[in-house]
Structure 1
């Protein structure tokens, strides 16, 4: 997990690999720092390299969305994440862009 420097108020948090309840703490820390930073106007969560995400990651993303942040997910979503989003109609909750660059400029 990496966070890129802010460019014009956009913080990009890049996630890669598998995410479940046992390994979400680095993601929580990155989100907490981004939300607390008044210079951050938008958080782009790059999930294009996430190979697995369970409901605990989805719950964290929903919490972040509810934190009154401008959150954009950058994909494309993996087939597994796409299925998870379909099961819970998460496409209605999140803004999803095709790339990080597209997410920056929405």
Structure 2
């Protein structure tokens, strides 16, 4: 599988933390439905927290941002914390900066750190 192909994996830990790992490119040309669906399912569950590991995401555009913002809104409606974990690729970090959405999300430097947020 080429490294720019989108892959979304979901796992739930014993302490009810959902980890959504995203790898590759998340843009209008990739199938963002997998991320949107994973975020929606996590927001509807009885989980303690959702962590989205973006450390292996190499590129993201407004399609990705829309999926993340929608997931954030659903999590907030259900009182479930959503944390984005890095380290972020510079192009992914730039997306949050240029759109002014960085402050909307809670970020952590790693998945381990995100679990303590």
- TM > 0.5 fold call: yes
* Match of residue 102, structure 2, among 86, 91, 97: 91
RMSD: 1.2
The count of aligned residue pairs is 105
* Alignment partner, residue 4 of structure 2: none
Structure 2 unaligned blocks of 5 or more: 1-7
Shift of 1:15: 0.2
Structure 1 unaligned blocks of 5 or more: none
Question: Are 1:14 and 2:21 matched, yes or no?
Answer: yes
Question: Are 1:73 and 2:73 matched, yes or no?
Answer: no
Task: Give the TM-score normalised by structure 2.
Answer: 0.83
The runs of 4+ residues in structure 1 deviating greater than 4 Å are none
1:49-68 deviations in Å (ceiling 9; x for gaps): 00010001101111111111
1:24-79 deviations in Å (ceiling 9; x for gaps): 011122112212212x1211000000001000110111111111131100001101
* Alignment partner, residue 2 of structure 1: 9
* Alignment partner, residue 51 of structure 1: 58
Task: Give the TM-score normalised by structure 1.
Answer: 0.91
